[in-house]
């Protein structure tokens, strides 16, 4: 009897141990399966984390009033990006005008890390801070991409005494202050500096040039009413008046004649013996604190914009040339351009350091 009980107890223990071992193996297998699932989820999360897309509508700021170069570039870019399906989220253009762009830049500077607010800019984002008129420069933002090259123009009233830019500069070499130059931007900013660069190349004493600022598109009015002699501006701002026969364009700042009706009639300074050029590059920025993935997203979208047929047609209509630069190339370009402009502002005694 004792022997039988011992055998029965032994069998019971074997069964108990086998059951415990099975539970341990099942728990171990479950843990293994759980670890594999977590690894897969983590891998998927990493892949998804490398591709950022907008999560809401995008605000595109033009740091100037309606109708100017920044406003037109922002609106045409937003139109093509949406209509061509390059960006699905709605893009709204907002004007933040004042202080040569500084009001708009201050607005964006307060949105650090927000990838849904962009703005368009050009040379003034270098010139205005250099002359001490803004606390924010290109270093305070995230360069995304440059998209176009625009050009300047020097225009006079149709009945002015100068037939070309060379004749104007010949007079100014004798008496620089005898000619009043007007531009929309403030002294030391784009309209002033583009004229100064060509005058210097022609041998004019640029420290004695009489330049006045007429914001709110008043430059053309001053030329037409005789209170100013030369309008220094963007080429797009003079096409209609030239076509109407109200003004004469003495020169544009491109190296070669521009394409298009009326535009192709404007002579370059270079063909008049003045070896200088001025490119009004124009591109897009975001606030500081954007991630690499966010920059990469927008950089690719603006590249698609630049390469699209729809935007090529817009460039032709406005006399713009293609000038695409990605984020890193754009940043290096801005750093070099800033150094080039410093010397000119210093010579004019307009550099604020």
Where residue 50 falls among pLDDT bands split at 50, 70, 90? low
- The pLDDT value given to residue 46: 31
pLDDT bracket for residue 3 (50, 70, 90): very low
Q: Residue 333 above 90 pLDDT?
A: yes
Q: What is the average pLDDT across 313-342?
A: 94
Question: Does position 163 have pLDDT exceeding 90, yes or no?
Answer: yes
Nearest to 129 by CA among 108, 109, 99: 99
Q: Where are the domains of the chain?
A: 58-150+280-347, 151-272
Query: Taking residues 83-93, what's their average pLDDT?
Result: 98
Taking residues 297-309, report their average pLDDT. Answer: 98
The domains spanning 58-150+280-347 and 151-272 adopt the same CATH topology: yes
Is 41's pLDDT higher than 70? no
Q: Residue 4: is its pLDDT beyond 80?
A: no
Higher pLDDT: 32 or 63? It is 63
Q: What is the pLDDT of residue 317?
A: 86
Place of tokens 């003034």: 124
SS3 102: helix
- The lowest-confidence range among 111-120, 204-213, 232-241, 302-311 is 232-241
Is residue 300 predicted with pLDDT exceeding 50?
A: yes
Query: What radius of gyration do the chain's Cα atoms show?
Result: 32
Concatenating the DSSP letter of every residue in 122-160 gives: -THHHHHHHTTS-S--GGGEEEEEEEEEEEEEEEEETT-
3-state SS, residue 271: helix
Nearest CA among 114, 115, 97 for reference residue 106: 97
| 195-209 residue pLDDT tens | 999 999 999 999 999
What pLDDT shows up at residue 259? 87
Distances (CA, A) of 202 to 127, 276, 314: 22, 9, 33
Whether the pLDDT of residue 142 is over 90: the answer is yes
Query: Whole-angstrom Cα distance, residue 26 to residue 122?
Result: 66
**pLDDT confidence of residue 213:** 93
The residues, ordered by sequence, that sit 6+ positions from 256 with a Cβ below 8 Å of its Cβ are 268, 270
pLDDT in tens, 214-230: 876 688 999 999 999 99
Q: In the prediction, which pLDDT does 10 show? A: 42
Pairing of strands 279-287, 141-157: antiparallel
* Mean pLDDT, all residues of the chain: 88
User: What integer pLDDT is reported at residue 318 of this predicted model?
Assistant: 87
Flag whether pLDDT at 17 surpasses 60. Answer: no
With a cut of 90, say whether residue 19 has pLDDT above it.
no
What pLDDT does residue 21 have? 47
Mean pLDDT of 164-176: 97
CB 197 within 8 A of CB 278: yes
**Environment class of 117 (CB within 10 Å of its CB; exposed 0-12, middle 13-18, buried 19+):** middle
| Residue of higher predicted confidence among 309 and 185 | 309
CATH code 2.160.20.60 for 58-150+280-347: no
Q: Give how far Cα 337 sits from Cα of 7, 41, 122, 123, 127, Å.
A: 96, 47, 11, 9, 10
The CATH class for the domain spanning 151-272 reads alpha beta
Helices (H) and strands (E) in the chain, counts: 11, 10
Number of Cβ atoms within 10 Å of the Cβ of 227: 13
- pLDDT greater than 90 at residue 39: no
Under the banding of pLDDT at 50, 70 and 90, the label for residue 115 is very high
């Amino acid at each position: 009897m004792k022997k039988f009980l011992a055998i029965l107890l032994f069998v019971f223990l074997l069964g108990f141990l086998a059951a415990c071992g099975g539970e341990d193996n099942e728990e171990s297998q479950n843990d293994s399966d759980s670890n594999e699932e977590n690894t897969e989820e983590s891998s998927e999360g990493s892949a998804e984390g490398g591709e950022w897309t907008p999560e809401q509508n995008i605000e595109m700021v033009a740091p100037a009033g309606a109708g100017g170069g920044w406003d037109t570039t922002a609106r045409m870019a937003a139109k093509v990006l949406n209509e061509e399906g390059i960006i699905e989220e709605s893009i709204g253009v907002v004007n933040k005008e004042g202080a040569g762009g500084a009001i708009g830049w201050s607005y964006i500077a307060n949105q650090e890390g927000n990838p849904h607010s962009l703005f368009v800019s050009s040379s003034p984002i270098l010139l205005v801070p250099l002359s001490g008129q803004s606390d924010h420069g290109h270093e305070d933002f995230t360069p995304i991409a440059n998209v176009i090259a625009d050009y300047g123009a020097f225009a006079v009233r149709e009945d002015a005494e100068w037939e070309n830019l060379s004749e104007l500069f010949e007079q100014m070499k004798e008496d620089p202050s005898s000619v009043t130059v007007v531009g929309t931007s403030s002294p030391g900013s784009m309209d002033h500096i583009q004229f100064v660069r060509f005058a210097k190349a022609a041998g004019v004493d640029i420290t004695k040039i009489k330049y006045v600022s007429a914001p709110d598109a008043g430059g053309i009015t001053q030329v037409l009413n005789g209170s100013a002699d030369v309008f220094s501006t963007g080429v797009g701002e003079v096409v209609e008046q030239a076509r109407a026969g109200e003004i004469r364009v003495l020169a544009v700042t491109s190296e070669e004649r521009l394409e298009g009706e009326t535009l192709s009639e404007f002579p370059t300074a270079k063909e008049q013996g003045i070896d200088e050029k001025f490119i009004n590059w124009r591109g897009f920025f975001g606030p500081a604190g954007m991630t690499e993935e966010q920059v990469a997203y927008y950089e690719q979208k603006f590249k698609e914009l630049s390469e699209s047929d729809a935007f090529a047609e817009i460039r032709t209509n406005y006399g713009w040339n293609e000038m695409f630069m990605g984020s890193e190339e754009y940043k290096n370009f801005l750093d070099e351009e800033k150094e080039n402009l410093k010397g000119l502002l210093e010579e004019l005694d307009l550099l604020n350091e």
